[in-house]
C-alpha cells in the first residue's frame, strides 16, 4: 500500500490520461453526510468484507477516512486480499478540506 497526499490525488482526479481510482470512503454514514470527496463510494469499514467482491482488484483504490488511520487499516487489508494498486489518503478528508476544498465542512 502507498500513501497519497491530497494535492497529488486532486491532480490525479483531473488527469484524463490516468485511470480513475475507486475513492473508497470507509467512514460511517453520519460522517459521510457531513462531507465527502466528490465521486467517493461510502463503504463503512465494518461492512467492507461483505462488499469487497464488488470491487475490481486491478482498479486503483484510494482509501479515505477522517484523518487517515482507518483508511490505512483498510488499505492494508485490501492489499493482503489481492488488490495491487492501493493508496491511503494522508490526512483523510480533513486534509482534503484544508488543502484542496476550503468550502468543505470539517468536523
CATH code of 87's domain: 3.40.250.10
Q: Per the domain annotation, does 106 fall within a domain?
A: no
Q: What is the pLDDT of residue 37?
A: 98
- The helix/strand count (H/E) of the chain reads as 5, 5
DSSP state of 21: P
For residue 107, tell me if it sits in a domain: no
**Structural domain span for residue 69:** 2-99
Residue 11 lies in a domain: yes
Q: Is residue 41 part of a domain?
A: yes
Q: Is residue 94 part of a domain?
A: yes
pLDDT of residue 68: 97
Catalytic residue among 9, 65, 86, 95: 65
Instruction: Establish whether 65 is a catalytic residue.
Output: yes
Query: Across the strands, what pairs with 72?
Result: none
pLDDT tens digits, one per residue of 30-49: 999 999 999 999 999 999 99
What are the beta bridge partners of residue 61?
Answer: 22, 86
Establish if 105 belongs to a structural domain: no
Q: Mind listing the pLDDT tens digit for each residue in 49-79? A: 999 999 999 999 999 999 999 999 999 999 9
Write down the mean pLDDT value for the chain. 97
pLDDT at 49: 96
Domain assignment present for residue 104? The answer is no
State the greatest distance between any 2 C-alpha atoms of the chain, in Å, as a whole number.
36
CA angle 85, 91, 96 (to 5 degrees): 90
Q: In this structure, is residue 78 part of a structural domain?
A: yes
Please tell me the total count of domains within the chain: 1
Amino acid at each position: 500500500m502507498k500513501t497519497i497526499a491530497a494535492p497529488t490525488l486532486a491532480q490525479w482526479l483531473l488527469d484524463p490520461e490516468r485511470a480513475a481510482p475507486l475513492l473508497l470512503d470507509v467512514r460511517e454514514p453520519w460522517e459521510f453526510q457531513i462531507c465527502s470527496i466528490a465521486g467517493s463510494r461510502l463503504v463503512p469499514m465494518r461492512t467492507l468484507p461483505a462488499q469487497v467482491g464488488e470491487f475490481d482488484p486491478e482498479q486503483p483504490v484510494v482509501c479515505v477516512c477522517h484523518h487517515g488511520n482507518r483508511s490505512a487499516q483498510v488499505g492494508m487489508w485490501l492489499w493482503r486480499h489481492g488488490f495491487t494498486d492501493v493508496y491511503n489518503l494522508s490526512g483523510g478528508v480533513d486534509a482534503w478540506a484544508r488543502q484542496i476544498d476550503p468550502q468543505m465542512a470539517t468536523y
